[in-house]
Chain A
Amino acid sequence: MKQFESLTGKNLSRRQLLAGSALLGGGLLATSLTGCGGSAGAAAVPTINFWHLLSGGDGTKMQAMIANANNGNPGFKVHPTVLAWGAPYYTKLAMASAGGRPPEVAIMHASRVPGYAPGGLIEPWDLKLLAENGITPENFAPRIWEKSQQDGKVFSLALDSHPFIMFYNTDIAGKAGLLESNGQLGEVSTPAEFKAMALEMQKVTKSHGLSFGYLNLGSQMWRLFYTLYKQHGAEIVLTPGQPMQADRDAAVESLEFMATLFDDTIAAKGNDINTGIAEFVRGDSGMLFSGGWELPTMKKAKLPVDALTIPTLYGTPASYADSHSFVLPRQLAVDEEKRKDAYKFVSDILKGSLSWAEAGHIPAYQPVVQSQAYKELTPQVHYANAADIISYDPDAWFSGSGSDWQNYFAEYIQNVLLGRSKAADGWDGFVARTNDLLSRPNPV
């Protein structure tokens, strides 16, 4: 009996050994691969993983800025990972933070911070360590610095503010006789004046006066709506457990105005965002409502283009905007060295954000904005005033850029813009949906 047992024991252990070694080999290889972050040739220097959601024009700029930072810091190597903008990015960032092995540093829209900071998914910045790297609160515009804080702690460090603005084709505007002596578009201050201006441009293009694509894109509808709504001097307040506070008249008036734009003369009835941009780039319209970040697209197309903040049509200057900000996702075990490197990396990027301005964003780091080099950037300086009038999304765990809340907005408002339902009905539906969200347990 015994000899058989020992025999079989040997058999078993051989098999276990096989299975075990295969696993072990896999595990070892995996950990070694994690160690070098998947990038080739990074030998001994620590890898700083950095997540962002920028692709296209500003993504290219960001890659260049990262390469610069890497060249200037032989002590570490930043490995960027790009995820799809919006829900996919924010979902994965939250999951990675909850899991405790997230990237050392990540980009987050300032409007999303209220959904992450209170739950402990991101950690506050250490002001002392920032100061050591030459970054102080005085480097930021007051509105932006205020937005970076939650409960008195700094959770996000703004790289920029990126407002929703109005591009216009200077050729078309010139032919329509709309340019002032300084070469810029004249001021309009009422909805009627704006429409008249758009119609003048339409006469030149023979197609449309204005381009704005929004189909199936809540964030895009929200950007324009919130700009116009805030121009009424109105607020939206979201408090969990209470109904949403908003100015219904201002909202309905804004939506009704938006709906009248899409009459196939002033603007196409229903375009998606890319079609809208393409139309403007082709010269089939004189103006485009868009994020400043589309500037590289215009430059690439060599379009004669200038830009302004969206005209103040309802009395109060306001411009929807958000800020790409740096955050520190919660780590299971903080590597102090890597964290120091992350501070250095972020401060280098902030100080070098002049090239970020080339992507159409307004740098948040004031020394850059006040530099002569920035003042020579056109059309960027023409809408730099947006930094003083920007309106971030109302604070809530569910609001912000690329949030579900913006998708809900689309569900009720798209049909308003397409002329299929009344502005008041669409707004009431959205308010009811929001109140439903507010009535649910707050998971943060």
Chain B
Amino acid sequence: MANTTLTRSIPRSDSGQAIRQPRKKLSAGKIAAVVVAAVLAVLWLVPFAWATVTAFKSEADASASKVSWFPPSGFTFDAFVNVFQAGNIPLWTWNSLYTSAAITLITLVISAFIAYALSRIEFKGKKVLMIAIIASIIVPPPVLMIPLFYQMLAFKMIDTPWAIILPQVIHPAMVFVLKRFFDQIPHELEEAAVMDGASRLRIFMQIILPLSRPILAAVAIFVFIGAWNNFLWPFISTNDDSLLTLPVGLQTIKSAYGVQYAQNMASALLAALPLIVVFLFFQRQIIKGISTTGLAGT
């Protein structure tokens, strides 16, 4: 079955196939590879490490002109406590969470429905529709920011959660990712249901969707990460600090007490934490998701 190979090939190959490759005799080369990989990994971890060390410093140590990994007055939770007391980070995290969840949910529902129609139903105007959706993949979101803002003004939606959510649910590329997957599901499975006189909707809900869980998860991951991290549109569509998402809030809202490096890093880490934790738990699924949907374009 096509769909099982699609979904299983990645996790199986990333540990199995690689090791089977005959490189054993070049152990010197392999050591060099480990060294290079390790140097890269260290370089890639340094910003995290430095941010973490800074966040656990006192404000005085953080802004001391002598750079230190082990601050003279020891590590402290002060920066995190202050950030929490200011109260914005938990609120923005919640804003990011529910807007991203809503975007993901709506995207999944509307994209799966139309993808099914494009994959299985022969209807008048389907070709034109397909071409229109394919063409829309190339529209870069920044081009829309001016007219969308103006439209949101007309809808009186600026500074409401709707302004963040509604324009972010159109992912033409994801429609095609889903359509391709539906295309691979053998038609035989549906025939029995058709014989029973089941409606399209029932076939879609009871046969196609359950078989499509992996791809739905992949699309959901892709869309959620995108929405969680999106900056430009939420930045344009909201100004009220109680509505801001994490990325926008961190950028826009400043402290009345001047620049505070330890608190900056503490906020940044708190903002980074949710997705990193999710990644640690669902690493395999996320990597699979990105690998399946990534090349479809954004």
Contacts and interface: CB of A to CB of B under 8 A. Distances in A.
Does A touch B (CB under 8 Å) in the complex?
A: yes
Interface in A1-36: 1, 4-5, 7-8, 11-12, 15, 19, 22-23, 25-27, 29-30, 33-34, 36
B144 to A, nearest CB: 16
Interface residues of B, number: 42
A37 interface: yes
A104 B239 CA distance: 13
Contact of A96 (B160, B161, B239, B258): B239
Given A4-B202, A40-B87, A100-B156, A27 B161 contact: yes
A99 interface: yes
B255 A55 contact: yes
B95 A92 contact: no
Contacts, number: 122
B202 A100 contact: no
A84 interface: yes
7 contacts: A11-B202, A27-B161, A33-B243, A34-B242, A55-B258, A99-B158, A102-B239
Given A63-B256, A92-B239, A99-B239, A22 B87 contact: no
Interface stretch (A75-83, A125-133, A377-385): A75-83
B256 A30 contact: no
Interface string A67-106: 0000000000000111110001000100110111111000
Given A11-B202, A37-B242, A59 B258 contact: yes
A81 B242 CA distance: 10
B199 A8 contact: yes
Nearest to A29: B98
Contacts of A33: 91, 94-95, 242-243
Contacts of B201: 8, 11-12
A276 B236 CA distance: 35
Contacts of A99: 152-153, 158-159, 239
B258 A88 contact: no
B47 to A, nearest CB: 23
Interface in B62-103: 87-88, 91, 94-95, 98-99, 101-102
Contacts of A15: 109, 205
Nearest to B201: A8
Given A30-B98, A49-B240, A95-B239, A83 B159 contact: no
Interface centre among A30, A80, A88, A332 (most CB of B within 10 A): A30
A26 B156 CA distance: 19
Contact of B257 (A27, A37, A56, A95): A56
A60 B257 contact: yes
B290 to A, nearest CB: 25
Contacts of A37: 242
B191 interface: no
Given A12-B201, A34-B242, A96-B159, A83 B98 contact: no
B252 interface: yes
A22 B242 contact: no
Contacts of A63: 256-257
A145 to B, nearest CB: 28
Contacts of A62: 256
Which 6 pairs show the lowest CB-CB distances between chains A and B?
A: A99-B158, A38-B242, A59-B256, A96-B239, A101-B159, A26-B98
